[in-house]
Amino acid sequence: MSVIRLPLVVGDADVRRRVEQLFSAMWTVKRALQRDARDVVDAYWAGDVRRERDVKAWRAELGLSRTGLEHRAYRHLERSGWLSDHVSKALVMHQADEVWAGVARHLHPDTSGRRAGRPKTGTWWEYTRIPGRARSHTTDRKWETFRLHGTLAGHLEAFRHPALAPSVTNPAQAAGLSPGMRVLAQPRRLPAPARPTGSVPTGLTDTRGRPRSRAATWFEHTGPLAVVFAGGPTGRGEMVLPVRLPQGVGRWPYLLHYLNDPSRWHKIDLVRRRDPAAPGGWAYEAHLMVLAPGHASTATRTRRRQAAALQRVGGVDGNVSNLAVVSLPTTGEPDDGPVRSSRITLTEQEQDALATARKKARGRQRALDRSRRATNPQQYQHSRRQKARDERRQAQGLPPKAHTAPAGPRHTTATGEPQQAYHRDTVSTGYRNLRARHSAAAVSAAEASHHRAKKTAAALVAAHGPNLTVEDCDIRTWFRLWGRACSATTPGRLITALAAECTAAGGRLLRASTFTTALSQHCLCGRRVTKSLRRRAHHCDPADGGCGLKGDRDLVSAALAAFTTLTDPDDPATARLDHARARAAQILFAQGLQEALTESTAPKSAPSGRTRAAADPRGNTLPRQRTASARRNAGPCTVATPDETRPAPQRPKAHAGTTRPHTGRPRTHIRDKS
């Protein structure tokens, strides 16, 4: 299965108000179900005796099951006097199924024995998806919630571009056009298609031999694509939302893959996302699930076939500031190919763009904080500077100056909790608009980072093949120590994208435990070379009986990962380092291996290159964690745990995935908590 996102046009004020009421009603249902689930779960865990006597009977009595939660949803719908005007029984049932999925993860542990937390009640801003019901593939013309009607050919006929050649009459011919040719010309105000009228012959006859017919429905609509919702039992009729297809270069083969065969359409979820430029502050989409694999272009399939035929094996070393990959032929013979190495780091342009984006984000956060303080001055104290000024004015006999925005900390209780919850504060319309722009910028940055990770993974697999091994580290520990650097380079996202690309190319990204291999503490010759985190260069000193190998620490670790064997590919703890193969490769490849471990040798289309941080590990090219003014106002504090580019003497010896307590003073960031 795969999913395609179809943007919906909600331009009419009445239609937009109805969609907003639909989301409001469904959020009310979900909130009621989540509260019921919390109460039932608490009662379930409180009944120790009943649970030990017969756990199934205890759950059945409490109604702690999928069916029980669905019946609770039905009762909420029946007892309410207004929900039936907006939602249907099928929507309520599937909302209950979604809530039950979270409850089931709390009741039943996974294979590792972990349970999800106690069910929580979400907020209005977090509610962004209304789950739909899948269509029936055994009964024809049966859609119970959101339905997609129309055809891709009808959409092309209705909105074909004036410059499109007359010979292009169907979607298959449009998909064969060269990139850059415009296919669609959809107007800014996309009209909603009209419901088919008239009668349709059924092919049957009555007792007198006369042909029977029936009224036309949306299933006879073959024009532009549109999402139709029938509404609640006492609703205001059908709601029709036109679909705006993406018109980018090369998008038509993508649309042909998902939308050309209506028999594969399976389910539709109605989704909203924050968009400050859209009317009402929300943009709406239909997520269509299709019974087909995801789309891959011809160039992508060709690249993956070539990567699978490389017959190479490699290792990956994920780091806070870079990603290193080293590969060599599977046979281990120099005649079958050279040693290749790649190093992915942030370029100077990316660092500048990241610094600019962070500066804008800090400006938006400060503006949000000023707006909240200005509209809720009674919830904040005066700063030391404001208090000193009031004292000077009082000594001079002057009245205290009125403060529109107190700059001090928030009023708290004896336990340190705010006296008033943030969501109860009064916020202005400008605050809401700025918060929406801030959220949209964060989503855009995340999508850009995800796209960069996929591009980088594709380039690495094309150069090194799909059979790679990486250290099994806990990225969450890295974020506790070097959160700012990790958010810039996103090592977890890069490794995840690399694993997906390896699987798509027919290989696999294996994970090796750091405890059983200790890649960063060994040399290819088999000798253990102990290095602290501040040492970013590897040197097996001949004076101490070493082989004399010199190279980048991360590249050497990646090369050693290529010689890791796993007894069980699914268990990282079974990984062992094959020192004999590593030493043999060091002897056979000799000079080529030494050059590969010194600098990157594989060409890549993804961002790469040796920046000043890579050339000089002691230099700090990351933005400063705290400004000078913040350090002055912070007062006395202990030295925080430095990041990788700020070496600390007497650092405790541990691998990158070890949890280490943070000894520094926690930083205070201004966040919107409404």
Euclidean distance between CA atoms 270 and 132, whole angstroms:
7
Q: For residue 490, tell me if it sits in a domain.
A: yes
Q: What is the number of domains present in the chain?
A: 2
| 173 close to 246: Cβ distance less than 8 angstroms | no
Euclidean distance between CA atoms 74 and 59, whole angstroms:
19
Euclidean distance between CA atoms 508 and 498, whole angstroms:
9
Residue that finishes a domain, picked among 566, 598, 630: 598
Mean of the per-residue pLDDT values of the chain: 84
Contacts of 415 (CB under 8 A, 6+ apart): none
pLDDT at 179: 76
pLDDT at 479: 87
CA 549 to chain CA mean position, Å: 41
Pairing of strands 2-7, 282-290: antiparallel
pLDDT at 613: 35
Percent of the chain clearing pLDDT 90 (strictly above): 42
Q: For residue 663, tell me if it sits in a domain.
A: no
Euclidean distance between CA atoms 81 and 200, whole angstroms:
38
Estimate the crossing angle of helix 491-504 against helix 429-464, to 10 degrees. 50
Q: For residue 263, tell me if it sits in a domain.
A: no
pLDDT tens digits along 607-636? 443 333 333 333 333 333 333 343 334 433
pLDDT tens digits along 260-291? 888 899 999 999 998 888 888 899 999 999 99
Q: For residue 575, list its beta bridge partners.
A: 566
Identify the H or E element spanning 393: helix 384-395
Residue that finishes a domain, picked among 598, 631, 665: 598
- Three-state DSSP class for 75? helix
DSSP state of 418: B
Euclidean distance between CA atoms 227 and 555, whole angstroms:
52
Query: Residue 509 sits in a domain of what CATH number?
Result: 3.30.420
Average pLDDT estimate for 182-199:
88
Alpha carbon distances (Å) from 665 to 232, 316, 337, 533, 634: 55, 34, 52, 22, 10
Euclidean distance between CA atoms 164 and 330, whole angstroms:
50
Residue that finishes a domain, picked among 547, 572, 598: 598
Q: For residue 415, tell me if it sits in a domain.
A: no
Average pLDDT estimate for 17-36:
93
* Helix, strand, coil abundance in the chain, percent, nearest 5: 45, 15, 40
pLDDT tens digits along 520-540? 888 888 888 888 888 888 888
Task: Kindly indicate the confidence band of residue 210, based on its pLDDT and cuts at 50, 70 and 90.
Answer: confident
pLDDT tens digits along 385-423? 999 999 999 999 998 888 788 999 999 999 989 999 998
Q: For residue 75, tell me if it sits in a domain.
A: yes
Average pLDDT estimate for 473-488:
86
pLDDT(673) > 50 = no
pLDDT(132) > 70 = yes
Number of neighbouring beta carbons within 10 Å of residue 110:
9
| 637 close to 665: Cβ distance less than 8 angstroms | yes
pLDDT at 224: 93
Q: For residue 605, tell me if it sits in a domain.
A: no
pLDDT at 44: 92
Task: Kindly indicate the confidence band of residue 482, based on its pLDDT and cuts at 50, 70 and 90.
Answer: confident
Q: For residue 615, tell me if it sits in a domain.
A: no
Angle at 68 between CA 64 and CA 74, to 5 degrees: 145
Q: For residue 524, tell me if it sits in a domain.
A: yes
Estimate the crossing angle of helix 13-46 against helix 89-107, to 10 degrees. 40
| Residue 569 belongs to domain spanning | 303-352+450-598
pLDDT(335) > 70 = yes
